[in-house]
Amino acid sequence: MTNTKNDLLIEVKNLEVHFNLLEGVVRALNGVSFEIRQGRSLGVIGESGCGKSVTAQSIMRIAPTPPAKIIGGSIRMHVHGEEGKQGEDVEILELQASGEKMRSIRWKHVAMIFQEPMTSFSPVFTIGNQIIEAILLHMPELDEKQSRARAIELLGRVGIPKPERLVDAYPHQLSGGMRQRAMIAMALSCNPKLLIADEPTTALDVTIEAQILELLKSLQAEFGMSMMYISHDLAVVGEMADDIMVMYLGQVMERASRDELFEKPLHPYTQALWRSIPRIDGGQDRLEPIAGTLPSPFSEHKGCPFYSRCEHRIKDVCDVQRPPMYRASPTHEVACFLYKD
Amino acid sequence: MLAFIVRRLITIIPLLILISIVSFIVIELPPGDWVETRVQQLKLAGATVDDTEIQRLNSQYGLDKPAYQRYFRWVTNMLQGDFGYSFQWNQPVSEILIERVPRTMLIAVLSLIVSWLISTPIGILSAIKQYSWIDYLGTFISFIGLATPGFLLALILAYGALNILGFSPLGLNSIEMIDAPMSIAKLVDLAKHLVLPLIIVGLTGTGVTIRVLRANLLDELKKQYVITARAKGLTEYQLLMKYPVRMAINPLISTIGGILPALIGGEQLVSIVLSLDTTGPVLLRAAIAQDTYLVGGIVMILSTLALFGSLLSDIALASMDPRIRFGGTSK
């Protein structure tokens, strides 16, 4: 947040996305801003429905429209040029979602791994077929044979045994963990600058989860990628991210470097979250759930969305006006009136 | 793949035996037999029939034997290509079958193709443009197709063709062409006469196919692998045809097995109305006249063909879906 502009990979400002449903309008994203710098990883954390995935999908412009509709804001992405060519800054929201420019950015510059390794691959084509498809699409300098060699190499790199044989395996012949590894191989196939991982380990068991996280970290360093890691698991995000962003009901509550956020959470919501998880050092007697319940997704908030559940709420302040981002340190921002000064 | 085909071929055998038993029971169900019917006709016509003549006919056709013996005689003869003798046509049943069955199959298979050609694009458009005017139009067409009985449509269209176009759609060839040797002109004439039957027979299948395809595709479009494909940067058309459509077509292929008998059944009725010389009119008349072997032969052959149709659709399905080919169970 203090670094120079030139290593900025992506800058999201005031992103607003609505879901127009029969029951009403869901404000899925309500002015979300953040940035990701090159080689860094941003962890996004929040409860179900807080807008984590929609944020990621909006960056790639793959949110299902309808019902999702981008209302406003800006997503500026630095798109690196091919060797020797100048890079350019692209305003993602100005592009046509299925247009040529946007399609050339997908997978080549931003790739994504998904939560469900079981369904992320089509069941009727081999893993290799689906990886090679991406390579052929974005790396025209490679022919079919070279693409296949690259797919095998990547499968080996992500820890799939006998890659030269399993490249011709169908997804149903692999276990969930293996499928997620294959998915990672596919995501890396075109050397993306940003890898979005949307809860990639939620559907896996804990031992596999640890392996996948380890793999992602080493690959991030090896490929020099930036990463956006989405999860509802605080421990996992703490493991993966340099910076962390806490989201609640489509808004960013707090944004800080990992250490600051873990050592000194400022927002009452973050603090409440921290109190609700067990710690391995046993430093607390009992877990405290966050008071109240999540408001209806259809409700509209004039003030802070956390107002109804907040223990520090200030009447006639927090419920009247939306708290802006206050800067607590060069790398720590919080959307709460408690930190006005 | 070969093991799969062999496995499926073996399961067909008990089915064929079952069909032959059912066909035989159908033949035997109505009271009386062909000889009695014949005698009745002769008596009504004023002729006298003596008992020894009846005896002779009965033993000649084995009608005095118990049912199971007649069944076994019928089946063993059929295996040797002898389908028995049609009392009504004074002709071996196999000759009638050879002449008529290919025409029925031609109409059934062509209507299947026609109905697929019409319904696949409509079904796909209906799904990707859900709740648009094209979707409503597709739904409308498919409900018409489902709800209109083929024979009614045959009557209406035949009336229309005759009165508006001045073209007689009856028969498979125009009267002056029936005895002409095979030529381009005769083929064109045949094609003209096929248009109406194909539309009528095909429409039933079209309605079903549009509905099934639309529902399948709507399911598939929501799946994660579609989002993956989009995220990879494929164009909408590329990803649509390679991933969800491919998946949505699978259940369609498996319905061939079910649609084929329906098409054959529909063909029978339409052929009667449009007096096409296929198996339809023959079967109806044979059933009324209790022409035992002819009815049995037609039912047997058409059922067997339908069975092989569904076998073919299974093989096609297995070649398209690895999960079936490998006997996989996971979704």
Contact residues on chain B for A138, CB-CB shorter than 8 A: 233
If you average pLDDT over residues A25-44, what whole number do you get? 89
Q: Measured between alpha carbons, how far is B212 from B20 in angstroms, rounded to an integer?
A: 32
Q: Which of B232, B322, B331 minimises the CB distance to A170? A: B322
User: Residue B279 is which amino acid?
Assistant: T
> Which amino acid is residue B78, in one-letter code?
M
In the predicted structure, residue A168 carries a pLDDT above the cut 70: yes
**Whether A60 contacts chain B with CB within 8 A:** yes
Note if the bond before A67 is cis, omega within 30 degrees.
yes
Q: Report yes or no on whether pTM surpasses 0.90.
A: no
d(CA A7, CA A19): 33
Name the residue of chain A whose CA is nearest to B233's CA.
Answer: A103
A40 or B36, greater pLDDT: A40
Share the mean pLDDT of chain A: 86
Chain A residue numbers touching B253 (CB-CB < 8 A): none
The SS3 assignment for B75 reads helix
pLDDT band at A303 (very low <50, low <70, confident <90, very high): confident
- The shortest C-alpha distance from A121 to chain B (Å) reads 5
Cβ proximity of B237 and B125 under 8 Å: no
Is residue B255 within 8 A of residue B278, CB to CB? The reply is: no
- For residues B243 and A123, what is the distance between their CA atoms, to the nearest angstrom? 9
Q: Per-residue confidence at A255, pLDDT binned at 50, 70, 90? A: very high
- pLDDT exceeds cutoff 90 at A244: yes
Instruction: Say if the Cβ atoms of A170 and B326 lie within 8 Å.
Output: yes
Reported ipTM: 0.85
CA dist B206 and B186 (Å) reads: 29
Residue with tokens 């399911």: B219
With cut-offs at 50, 70 and 90, classify the pLDDT of residue A52: confident
Nearest to A119 among B224, B231, B326 (CB): B224
Chains A, B: CB pairs < 8 Å: 76
Q: Are B246 and A124 inside 8 Å of each other by CB?
A: yes
Closest CA to B243 of B216, B271, B208: B216
- CA angle B287/B159/B272 to nearest 5° reads 10
Q: Which of the four pLDDT bands, split at 50, 70 and 90, describes residue A1?
A: very low
Residue of A nearest to B236 (CA): A98
Q: Which residues of A touch B233 (CB under 8 A)?
A: 103-108, 134, 137-138
Q: Verify whether the Cβ–Cβ distance B232 to A173 is below 8 Å.
A: no
- pLDDT, tens digit, 9 for 90 and up, residues A105-124: 889 889 999 888 888 999 88
* DSSP calls for A87-120: PEEEEGGGS-TTSHHHHHHBTTTEEEE-S-TTTS
Residue A82 is predicted with a pLDDT of 67
pLDDT for residue A282: 64
Percentage with pLDDT > 90 across chain A: 18
Spans of chain B, pLDDT less than 50: 328-331
Find the closest chain A residue to B225 by CA distance: A120
Given CB atoms, is A62 within the 8 Å cutoff of chain B?
A: yes
Residue B221 three-state SS: helix
Condensed to tens digits (0 to 9), the pLDDT of residues B155-202 reads 888 888 888 887 777 777 777 767 777 778 888 888 888 888 888 888
pLDDT band at A132 (very low <50, low <70, confident <90, very high): very high
pLDDT for position B5:
83
